[in-house]
Amino acid sequence: MAPEDSEEEFAREKLSAYGFLKKSQYLDEDLKRRVRYASNWIKDFEEIKETSVHLSEDDKSAVKNLIEFLTAEDNPDQIQNAIFNIAKQHDLQPTDFFKLLYTILIGVPQGPRLGPYLLAMGKQNVVDALQRAIGNG
């Protein structure tokens, strides 16, 4: 997710933005070591390893709409709002749709704020994973 050769700076910025890093920790050696470990792990497991879930036809239709939206949008807030709106358009509870997406993409029913996270994961990686989940990949 991080730009190559800028992993440490990217991690610091994200951790700080999410409120997990204090200024006093910004140059911490332990943080640098952990970022290196995480970077190595990510390089070993680059592709999203989504979890297989049963999707209703409404779920599939909603996921297809999200895929279409993601291909044209780069604003994390717009993506976040679109997930709510797509769920409502398909008579799904937004919380259930979010849980479904989290389960497909990261294997658990909850996680970080999804709009920014989808961009951080790489839109094409997300689109590919969602297409596999609905059987089009």
The domain tally of the chain equals 2
Residue 2 lies in a domain: no
Rounded to whole angstroms, how far apart are CA atoms 20 and 35? 14
Query: Which whole number is the average pLDDT over 34-51?
Result: 65
39 and 89 part of one domain:
no
Q: Establish if 52 belongs to a structural domain.
A: no
- 110 & 88 share domain: yes
Q: Do 129 and 71 fall into the same domain?
A: yes
Residue 72, amino acid: A
Domain span at residue 29 reads 7-44
pTM over cut 0.75: no
DSSP-derived letter for residue 108 is: S
Whether residues 75 and 16 fall in one domain: no
pLDDT per residue over 2-26, tens digit each? 666 677 777 777 777 777 777 667 6
71 and 33, same domain (yes or no): no
Which one is predicted more confidently, 47 or 35?
35
What are the φ and ψ backbone dihedral angles of 122, each rounded to 5 degrees? 95, 115
- What pLDDT, on a 0 to 100 scale, did the predictor assign at position 39? 72
The string of pLDDT tens digits covering residues 94-103 is 999 999 999 9
